[in-house]
Amino acid sequence: MKIDLSGKVAVVTGGAMGIGEACARKIALAGASVAILDPNEDAGTKTAAAIRAHGGECKFFRCDVSKSKDVEQAVGDVITKHSQIDILVSNAGIQYYGDVITTPEDDWDRVIGVNLKGCFLISKFCVPHMISNGGAIVVLGSVQSFTAIQNSAAYVTSKHAVLGLARAMALDYAHKGIRVNCVCPGTIDTPMLHWAASLSPDPESVIRTCDRMHALGRIGKPDEVADAVLYLASPMSSFITGAALLVDGGMLVPAGGMAFQEGGTGASTKK
């Protein structure tokens, strides 16, 4: 069944690159008018132009989602142009590394500011424009909304929190016809992943390790996450709200991780 979002207006934060770009592109090609909110003006402008070149309607709005004035202005500009908002994809996110001792306070504030406060602010300013007609909000969490990796205290905290925020909003606005769900990706082939891998002396080894972390034996693609977002943003998921959808290639399925499956008790007894 083809998803048709004709006549809908969608806001996608962090839509200039990576998962956000894939979401913006797929939602636009399904017929919605898309507003990309992102602080990266060069990348955002190019992405919007590329979407228009393929027949979609898309406009870029410069916005730092951690700043209330930026978000209020950008959402106001979207309303001025389109008079409505039907879909919100809260995707903007950053990652810094460190434990609670080594993480500078400024880094903590920045990660929480973009990943969590940004989700709060974009919802705060978009939801009032969705209440009259209902709509769909999709928040981008992570497998780290459920679990943790070492040396990533701020990011893990932010992704646990956005899942809680999505569930809270699902309850608060269900009676208004607004569905809120959370998509939780595993490791995805994005600029953020390659930046993280570049911090290692052997980036290719990091990518190979990431491949092996998933039961499917590979990292995911942005389009694979965007397909899940598109589904949750569409009428096809009309009876789904407050859900957390893992798009993780089976990463969280194996007890003890994939290495344990290769050499742990179950593997050792396999004939």
| pLDDT < 70: residue spans in the chain | 1, 263-271
pLDDT value of residue 20 = 98
- Note the pLDDT tens digit of each residue in 18-45: 999 999 999 999 999 999 999 999 999 9
pLDDT at 181: 98
Give the active site residue among 96, 97, 155, 231.
155
Q: Give residue 253's pLDDT.
A: 95
Contact assessment for residue 66 and residue 110, using Cβ atoms and an 8 Å cutoff: yes
Return the CATH number of 9-190+222-254, one of 3.40.1010.20, 3.50.50.60, 2.60.120.380, 3.40.50.720. 3.40.50.720
User: What are the extents of the domains in the chain?
Assistant: 9-190+222-254
Say what the pTM is.
0.95
| Side-chain half-sphere exposure of 136, counting CA atoms within 13 A | 26
Give the per-residue pLDDT at 238.
98
Residue 97 is among the residues annotated as catalytic for this protein: no
pLDDT at 266: 57
Q: In this predicted model, what pLDDT tens digit does every residue of 188-203 receive, in sequence order?
A: 998 888 988 898 888 8
